[in-house]
Amino acid sequence: MESFNKLALGATGWGDELLFGALMTVTLAISSLVVGFFIGAQLAFLKLQPIKSVRGFAHLITLLFRGTPEFLIILVVFFGLDALINATLSAFLFDTSVSIPKFWAGTIGLGLIFGVYASEVLKAAYQAVPQLTLEAARALGLNFHQVLIQIHIPLMWRHALPGLMNLWLVLLKDTSLVAVIAFDELLRTAKVAGETEREPFIFFCAAALLYLLMTWLSDLIRKAIAKRVSIVGAHGC
């Protein structure tokens, strides 16, 4: 019972720190999702271009990141961005040194990982929309942009949503990798608490329960969004 008291809220336990770590995990995941979706959309756009060299470049980037351990990508981004920024400042004769915040290093690293995989999902979803539906829309007099905005993209979401939600769940758990750069997300907070109290098992179990809670809530949101998309799609048809 004394061990569980260490999970209490307030000065007597680590409950506040664990909840704050969970908040940092969610915040990091959401910011990485936004960055990653933008990257994924751009890569998907390049992969759909008729120019072979452009498609090849996008696929090369995908291959590079898919073949590199995610752990290593985060380290490269964290240390590489610092080196790049400081080298740029030195080139412009600025005698100063900066260090990128750990949160943004984690966001960019996880965003790159998410974006590479999301590009494949978005590309497949774009191609999954029946051509007959698009041809029917053009036959009704809609121009290219009208077909894209009013028909193609809304129908595309119905195909993309399951894959994107799966990637979100992976991203949510991959935030634990950012502990390697000492960002105080949930897993690192649990590790520090376990080492301080010399009871790692109970704190890692608490972290696991919080991850399960976040995953469960994400699944509820996924079902609500899927239901909404299905209703909108049915009305659109």
Q: How far is CA 217 from CA 16, 169, 171, 190, in A?
A: 20, 11, 15, 21
Q: What angle do CA 215, 172, 115 make, to 5 degrees?
A: 130
Considering the entire predicted model, what is its pTM? 0.89
User: Which residue, chain included where needed, has tokens 């698009």?
Assistant: 134
CA distance 205 to 209: 6
The predicted model gives 136-164 an average pLDDT of 86
CA distance 139 to 11: 69
30-72 confidence digits (pLDDT tens):
999 999 999 999 999 999 999 999 999 999 999 999 999 999 9
| Helix extents (H) in the chain | 2-5, 15-47, 52-66, 70-91, 102-128, 131-139, 144-147, 153-174, 186-197, 200-236
pLDDT above 60: residue 129: yes
Name, in order, each residue with C-beta under 8 angstroms of 54's C-beta and a sequence gap of 6 or more.
Answer: 46
The predicted model gives 168-193 an average pLDDT of 93
Q: Of the CATH numbers 3.90.550.10, 1.10.3720.10, 3.30.1780.10, 3.40.190.10, which one belongs to the domain with range 2-236?
A: 1.10.3720.10
Name, in order, each residue with C-beta under 8 angstroms of 175's C-beta and a sequence gap of 6 or more.
Answer: 25, 28, 29, 32, 106, 110, 185, 186, 187
3-state secondary structure of 56: helix
Query: What is the structure's pLDDT at 84?
Result: 86
Q: Which of these, 125, 219, 104, 114, lies nearest to 170 by C-alpha position?
A: 114
CA distance 188 to 203: 10
pLDDT above 70: residue 233: no
Residue 5 pLDDT level (bands cut at 50, 70, 90): confident
User: What single-letter DSSP state applies at residue 85?
Assistant: H
Residue 172 pLDDT level (bands cut at 50, 70, 90): very high
Q: Spell 136-167 as b/e; 16+ CB within 10 A means b.
A: ebeeeebeeeebeeebbeebbebbbbebbbeb
Pull the structure tokens for residue 160. 């993309």
Are 25 and 213 contacting, i.e. CB atoms less than 8 angstroms apart? no
CA distance 104 to 119: 21
Task: Sketch the domain layout of the chain as residue ranges.
Answer: 2-236
190-216 confidence digits (pLDDT tens):
999 999 888 889 999 999 999 999 999
How does the average pLDDT of the chain come out, rounded? 88
The predicted model gives 71-83 an average pLDDT of 91
The predicted model gives 134-149 an average pLDDT of 85
